[in-house]
Amino acid sequence: MPTARAGPTDAGPPIASVNPTTGELVESFEPADPSAVEAALGRAAVGARRWAKSTLENRTHLLLAAAELLEGEVPDIAHTLTTEMGKPFAQAKAEVSKCASAFRWFAEHAPAMLDEYRVALDGARGKVVFQPLGVVLAIMPWNFPLWQVTRFAAPALMAGNVGLLKHAPSVPRCALLLEDLFRRAGAPDGVFQTLLIGTDQVPGVITDARVSAVTLTGSVGAGRKVAAQAGAVGKKVVLELGGSDPFIVLPSADLPSAVRVGIEARVQNAGQSCIAAKRFIVHRAVADRFIGEFVAGMEALVVGDPFDPATEVGPLVNAAAQADLAAQVDDARRSGADILCGGQTVVGPGGPDHPGCFYRPTVIGNITENMRIATEEVFGPVALLFVVDDADEALEVANGTEFGLGSSVWTNDPREQDRFVEELEAGQVFVNGMVASMPELPFGGIKSSGVGRELSSFGLREFCNVKAVWMA
């Protein structure tokens, strides 16, 4: 049977956990060498055969046990998240609790969603059954290091698949924490494993015959590479590739709520979210009031130590992310944009010797097509403002991007609500609310934002063989 190829090096450089609040090294790990990767794939293959034959009761028990562990260790697990990627501690605790809730939701609802159903046929009996595919490789990002994994793991494991996690190199401690969580919850050997490997080792795992499917959350470039590699060997993929979500404010909107939620939607997790509101498209009739209150609210946000309860915006994940964001804003400034607030880095609580990776919440207006921010995803606490004359122009601006992940529209006019739900080019439309992911609704995008869905019954069946049965 084919083995995974490590790539041009045996294992690659160390995988480092660096605290973005101070820039200091927390812990370093050696990537798995080819023999360790081969052993993990072997365990996954054996585990997949066994787990596919497990009962739904056994799978439910595993998810409920994982949920209980998370609920009992919220502060300790959240501390790891905050230390490793800078998420404010309150948000980190909320992420841990959200994962526990998702495990419980799938434990309760997946059995019914996996139940076979009968189809009426002339002169025959028909039914549809849902069976696991096998080993699912998950290539996950750092911004929600537990929740992103839970979105794949909870439905995939309930469907009878097993998981191999290749997490982002900046969150190895979170990756190992997840493997340990499932081990302590009672997962049989091979059901959930973490692979600490470099990027150059990933293609060999994707093309290994023992891997049945791949799911990735990441950049458009990374997604297209993975899609090409998986497609070359005929494997199923689910891709969530980011977004530039519009936040549309029309004249009938509740403006105080739109301002308050808009600020939260832009700066949650320091703005490092695929479904963060990034482009604020405001009708001219309410633009002056909305912009004035929005800019004042962004300016008032407290940036600092993510463990300080007063902090509202923590650091970006690393120095490279800080530099990329600063370069995008500087390009807009040079090209004539209006920097209405922010637009600069911030020295963190560690002082000049340990400045961390902070960036001040920023609002930019007068955006033109020649600016990088007009076409690129902006991953940080930077809001882009567009003023439009009517609903037609709002839709044109909202849809005028390669992305199509989430969208938020603020209007109390029922006809406008129906129109924007119908015409927004996005996988999700939230009316008078902030875009969020939840177990009950499918999550995913269109256009360059990806293919496939996570969560809900749609995400559960992505990694199933939807088998049609005809019986004479």
Tokens of 309: 């309860």
Q: What is the 3-state secondary structure (H, E, C) of 304-317?
A: CCCCCCCCCECCCC
* Annotated catalytic residue within 99, 274, 357, 464: 274
- 402 Cβ contact partners less than 8 Å away, ≥ 6 residues apart: 220, 375, 447, 448
Q: Catalytic residue at 464?
A: no
Q: Exposed/middle/buried for 441, CB within 10 Å: 0-12, 13-18, 19+? A: middle
Burial 56-74 (b: 16+ CB within 10 A, else e): beebbebbbbbbebbeebb
Please answer whether residues 332 and 263 qualify as being in contact, where contact means their C-beta atoms are separated by less than 8 angstroms: no
Please answer whether residues 390 and 287 qualify as being in contact, where contact means their C-beta atoms are separated by less than 8 angstroms: no
Please answer whether residues 426 and 450 qualify as being in contact, where contact means their C-beta atoms are separated by less than 8 angstroms: no
Please answer whether residues 382 and 271 qualify as being in contact, where contact means their C-beta atoms are separated by less than 8 angstroms: yes
Element spanning 184, H or E: helix 172-185
DSSP string, 224-249: HHHHHHHHHTT-EEEEE----EEEEE
Of 433, 432, 434, 456, the closest CA to residue 444 belongs to 456
Q: Name the region of 389 (left: φ>0; alpha: ψ -120 to 50; beta: rest).
A: alpha
Report H helices in 214-365: 220-232, 255-267, 284-300, 319-334
8-state DSSP, 377: -
Q: How far is CA 462 from CA 62, 155, 452, 456, 458, in A?
A: 21, 9, 7, 10, 6
- Amino acid 262 reads G
Neighbours of 398 (CB within 10 A): 26
Q: Catalytic residue at 174?
A: no
Helix or strand or coil: residue 127? strand
Please answer whether residues 215 and 152 qualify as being in contact, where contact means their C-beta atoms are separated by less than 8 angstroms: yes
* Annotated catalytic residue within 84, 179, 240, 416: 240
> Which residues are catalytically annotated?
240, 274
